Amino acid sequence: MSFQVASKDDLVALVNAKNSTTFTVADFDYSNPRVVAGSWQEELTDKNTAVRLLASEASAYQGNVVVLYDRLSLNALANISGWRVAADEPATTHDLIDAISIYTGIRFAPEDIEDVAITLDENGAGTAVISASPNSLGWIGNVNLPVVKGGALLDEQVTQPMLQGLNYPSASDADTYAEIYTYGYDFTTYTDQLIDLVEGTELVADDLTMVRDMLAAVDISSGKTLWNTDPESTEWSLAGAQIVKNGLNSASLPTNPNYKYVLGLQLRADLTIPKGTLYLHYNDPFDPNDF
């Protein structure tokens, strides 16, 4: 038995537990509950409620019986951790019944609690007063319920559980990625030469050989001896590279934030190794007299 199940379910379960019976909720019609205090029909009792169970028409039974039991005080819920809900702008307490069920498991029926308007602040937070209806079979009293905005079901809201990623720099996971290849390299030695390259142009002539030589000098990886300026070569060739970026580094680029400047060289599309955009990072030259 549990205080969280619906009031009638719990009441019938109590009957069955005490009497070794197997009644269902539908076997009875229920009178309004009656408050009991100290005694019932001249018998002493510590129970607080009496209700008359009548055999329902659909049942295989006849007659009626009055049972004594305790309705639970809502006030006690204030002492239980977890007594709060998140909901999306509920207007009245009945709007909270589903949220209460989701967050706490307590199954209030609409007839268990009064339907009262809720006042919320601009953040959608506030306090709802949950009051038992006089005719609730399970509850008496009232309690404040903290309400915050929310209550969205992850299962309903995340409609795309098949996430698109995580991604490699290109659509293939079998490339040598230009963006990764030069991420850790420092071209500050060449700042004076690099800073003059013009964004939006193609890397040609002396500039082409200059950048090739810089890469050959700084590179420590697989392409170190392979960088070339051959327009026919499909590997490690800088020929045809476009200067898509040169100047101040930016958080919007996939670049190394430890550097002030970056030169972006979009490699020829038919290049197979490496693929993508090479980012050559550089800083202002170190001046020992500048503190």
Partner 1 sequence: MPKYNKPSADLVVDLINESNPSLPFPIETGKVLFTGLATRTPGEGEYQDTQIKVNAKNGTEYVGNKLLQYRRIDIGKLFRGTSIEIHRYSPANTSTSPYRLHQLLGDINAKYGLALTTDEVADLSFPAATDNYYPGIRTSKVNMVVASTSMAWKGTVEVRWVQAPQELQNLITQPELTGRLYPGGNDFSGAHPYVLDLEAYAIDFTETNAAGLNATGTIGSGIAAQVNAQQTLVDLLAQVTGKAYNMVSGNAGQPYGLFGCTYQKLALPNVLVPEANSRFYNSVVVLTYNHASNWGAGRLFMHHNV
Residue 256 touches partner 1, criterion: CB under 8 A: yes
Residue 30 touches partner 1, criterion: CB under 8 A: no
User: Which one of 56-64, 70-78, 166-174, 207-215 is the stretch in contact with partner 1 (CB under 8 A)?
Assistant: 166-174
| Contacting residue, 37, 58, 162, 269, with partner 1 by CB under 8 A | 162
Q: CA dihedral in degrees (66, 70, 72, 76; nearest 10)?
A: 160
User: Which one of 10-18, 22-30, 33-41, 180-188 is the stretch in contact with partner 1 (CB under 8 A)?
Assistant: 180-188
Closest of 208, 206, 200 to residue 247, by C-alpha: 200
* 211 touches 203 (CB < 8 A): yes
Residue 155 touches partner 1, criterion: CB under 8 A: yes
* CA pair distance 52, 60, nearest whole angstrom: 17
User: Which one of 12-20, 39-47, 126-134, 270-278 is the stretch in contact with partner 1 (CB under 8 A)?
Assistant: 270-278
Q: Establish how many alpha carbons lie within 13 A of residue 131's alpha carbon, considering only the half-sphere containing its beta carbon.
A: 9
User: What is the nearest approach in angstroms of partner 1 to the Cβ of residue 242?
Assistant: 16
* CA pair distance 21, 51, nearest whole angstrom: 18
* CA pair distance 162, 254, nearest whole angstrom: 25
Q: Which is nearer to partner 1, 41 or 81 (CB)?
A: 81
Binding footprint of partner 1 on the chain (CB under 8 A): 82, 84, 86, 88, 102-103, 148-155, 157-169, 173-177, 179-181, 183-184, 220-223, 254, 256, 258, 273-274, 276-277
